[in-house]
Structure 1
Amino acid sequence: MIICCRWDHSNSVVTPDEDVFYLVALLRSALDTGDEIHNLDYLSNQNLRLLRFCDDAGIKVKQYLPHYTTQKEWMDHFGDKWGQFYQGKMEFDPKHILATGQRIFRPSFTSSNMAL
């Protein structure tokens, strides 16, 4: 059980809009044993099925280390905090140089116009 009033709401951590919420973590390892249920594709698909089940059932969940591929998915992840997150990005990283691999924002520069 995690008590949300201990969170600093000025940061970009996404927590439920409830006083008490729970963290459920699945820690598994993909193995190359030839057994289908241990390979990475199977476990990744199982994770997607779990997330889809929660979405279909109306269970609000947030992934700890999400792998989103679109800005829309990130906007959904941050929810009401998207504006705050976006403002911070524009203030502290207006050229979108940091965290390009997360695909939240596209860099506003190219390698040809970078000064060394």
Structure 2
Amino acid sequence: MNRTKWNDKMSAAIPDEEFFYLVTLLHIVTPDKLASTNAQNNQIMEFCKNSGIGIKEYLPYNKTHMEWKEHFGSKWPILKARKDEFDPKKILSPGQKIFNN
């Protein structure tokens, strides 16, 4: 995809490269295979990170404020400014820990 075709006003997290690819892995998972599928996904993500491949998950499961900040990358300042403007008390969506340290 060409980054210039994206509206920078959207808060969708995309890599900072000029051109990037969208790759999806869709698994059919039964409850007994959930742990091994999650482990495989984590291996893929770790490989990409260690190889310097700029990646963004569609539905990330980030556990910390810093992981969210890294996920949004260059869009973090605008996302934070919007949060400060429209939810200054940070009462909306506290469970994701995006804005609470």
Q: What's the counterpart of residue 5 of structure 1?
A: 4
The two structures, once aligned, show a CA RMSD in angstroms of 1.4
Q: Comparing both chains, which one has the higher relative contact order based on Cα–Cα distances under 8 Å and sequence gaps of 6 or more?
A: 2
Structure 1 segments of 4 or more deviating over 2 A? Answer: 16-20
Q: Per-residue CA shift, 1:65-108, capped at 9, x if unaligned?
A: 001010000011111211111111000111112222211123xx
Provide the rounded CA distance (Å) in 1 between the counterparts of 2:18 and 2:77. Answer: 22
Cα pair 2:69 2:76 within 8 Å, conserved = yes
2:90 partner SS: coil
**TM-score where L is the length of structure 1:** 0.78
Structure 2 gap ranges (5+)? none
What pairs up with 1:17-96 in 2 under 5 angstroms? 17-32=16-31, 39-96=33-90
Q: Which runs of 5+ in 1 are unaligned?
A: 107-116
Q: How many residues align?
A: 100
